Copies of this chain bind each other. A is one copy, B any other.
C-alpha cells in the first residue's frame, strides 16, 4: 500500500489532502519588527499536514510581512532605519496625511515589503533556512492590534 493508498474503488489520486486555517493577533508597540515564526510553526504542527505550504497573510495596509535575519537584532534595526530613510515621513508632497505624517509612509513601506508570504512545509515543518524568521512589520507610530491569517494546505 503506497502513499495515500485507497481500498475499494477509487477514482483518481484520492490522497489525504486538506486545507486548514488559523489566525492570531499581534499587539504592536509602534514601529518595528516582531517575530511571529513560532506562532506560524504551532499552527503548522497542529494541522498535521506533512507536505504542502503555509500561507501567511496580514490583513492591513499599514503593516506588512518580511522574512528576515533572525539572529542579530542589529540587522532588523538597520532594516527599520533604512525604511525610515527610503520613505521619509517629511515628504511634503504627500496628500494622504489625514492620520498624520506616518500615514502615507506606512502604506508605501507595506507595498515595498509583503502582505503574503508562502513557506513550503516538508516533513511536517516549514523549510525556513537557518537564519530566516517571519516578522510582522508595523509601520505606524502608535500601538496597533494586527490580525494574521494563515492557511496550511497539503497532504
Task: Name A's B-contacting residues (CB within 8 A).
Answer: 1-21, 23, 50-53, 55, 57, 59-61, 66-69, 72, 74-75, 77-79, 81-82, 86-87, 91, 93-96, 98, 104, 107-108, 110-122, 127-129, 131-132, 147, 149-151, 153-155
- Taking a contact as CB atoms under 8 Å apart, the answer to whether B1 and A7 are in contact is yes
Chain B, Cβ-Cβ closest to A108: B82
- Determine the distance from Cα of A62 to Cα of B120 in the docked complex, in whole angstroms: 19
- Taking a contact as CB atoms under 8 Å apart, the answer to whether B60 and A72 are in contact is no
Copy tally for this chain in the complex stands at 3
Query: Using Cβ atoms and an 8 Å threshold, which residues of chain B touch A23?
Result: 127
27 contacts between A and B (CB under 8 A): A1-B1, A1-B7, A3-B4, A3-B16, A4-B12, A4-B13, A4-B18, A4-B155, A14-B15, A15-B18, A18-B155, A19-B51, A23-B127, A51-B151, A57-B118, A59-B127, A60-B131, A67-B110, A75-B96, A78-B104, A78-B107, A79-B107, A82-B108, A86-B86, A121-B151, A127-B149, A153-B154
Q: Which 8 A-B pairs rank lowest in CB-CB distance, beginning with the nearest? A: A8-B8, A4-B16, A12-B16, A59-B129, A13-B16, A7-B9, A19-B154, A17-B17
Partner of A150, one of B7, B61, B120, B128: B120
Closest Cβ–Cβ distance, residue A96 to chain B (whole Å): 4
Query: Using Cβ atoms and an 8 Å threshold, which residues of chain B touch A113?
Result: 111-112
Query: Using Cβ atoms and an 8 Å threshold, which residues of chain B touch A120?
Result: 21, 55, 57, 149-151
- Taking a contact as CB atoms under 8 Å apart, the answer to whether A6 and B14 are in contact is yes
